[in-house]
Amino acid sequence: MGEVRFLSIGRMTARRDWVVKAHIHPHHQMIAVTRGRQFVRLLGEETAVEAGETILFPAHAAHYEWTDRARPHDSFFLGFDWNGYRPGMRLHVIDRQRRIATLMEWLFAERDSPGKSSGLARERFVASIVAEFGRLVERPAFDMPAKIRSYVRAHLDEDLSLDRLAGQAGISKYHFLRRYKQLTGLAPIQDVRRMRLEVARDMLLTSDLPLKAIAARVGLASEYHLSRLLKKQFGAGARELRRYE
């Protein structure tokens, strides 16, 4: 694992239009999302980091961050030194039991406690967080559907063809189609449509955006197409859903 040294811990509740342009840190930073989702552009790739997921920003690596326009966002962020970082290692992990977020919450509660024992406790918390992150990185099989869903949510307003999604998975489209359906019970394009509609529904319930603008943001051709699909998926069209708010 290597040696780690605690530097800082913080908690963020961001408004829905929060954006931080490209920046770097002289140390490593780890973000554990606890509510909503955070979008990241790091090392040439865009990633959607969902609640229950964690991402590592390596020291001196430029990254750009923004939040979902339709959802509030909460996260913990940890600054630390670590000589065990390996260039090329996976930086985005899925933490289904939310162990990293729980450890960060405990560390956050101890951040200002005085005394040598509290300092030792903080270092142990950081060591445990990094060890858990490393355990998740070393899992032999990455959760392919979660990776694809993260990618889809970061590119909802774009054309998401089967070829494009298979390219993200790194396998042929025929293998991708078969494997994805085995793991999720849905064809990839069906799952993309489900995600588009869920995000559209959230925007209807939490924003005043016109239906035409929502349709564009989730990659659907028109407000009429969107309303028809919402009715089919949720049993209520756009106007009915907005009245439920």
In this predicted model, what pLDDT tens digit does every residue of 107-121 receive, in sequence order?
A: 999 988 888 888 899
Pairing of strands 28-35, 4-14: unpaired
What's the predicted TM-score (pTM) here? Answer: 0.65
Last residue of a domain, one of 118, 137, 156: 137
We report the CATH number of the domain holding residue 97 as 2.60.120.280
Last residue of a domain, one of 87, 119, 137: 137
Residues 9 and 96 placed together within one structural domain of the fold: yes
Paired residues of 13 in beta bridges:
74
Cα–Cα distance for residue pair 168/164, rounded to 1 Å: 7
How many structural domains compose the chain? Answer: 2
- Residue 99's pLDDT band, with cuts at 50, 70 and 90, is very high
Last residue of a domain, one of 121, 137, 153: 137
Residues 156 and 117 placed together within one structural domain of the fold: no
Residues 162 and 127 placed together within one structural domain of the fold: no
Alpha carbon distances (Å) from 203 to 108, 165, 198, 241: 32, 24, 9, 10
pLDDT digits (tens, 9 = 90+) for 42-75: 988 888 888 888 999 999 999 999 887 667 789 9
Residues 178 and 92 placed together within one structural domain of the fold: no
The residue assigned the tokens 């070393």 is 138
Q: Which domain holds residue 54?
A: 4-137
Residues 76 and 116 placed together within one structural domain of the fold: yes
Residues 122 and 148 placed together within one structural domain of the fold: no
- The pLDDT value given to residue 169: 80
Paired residues of 19 in beta bridges:
66
Q: What are phi and psi of 24, to 5 degrees?
A: -135, 160
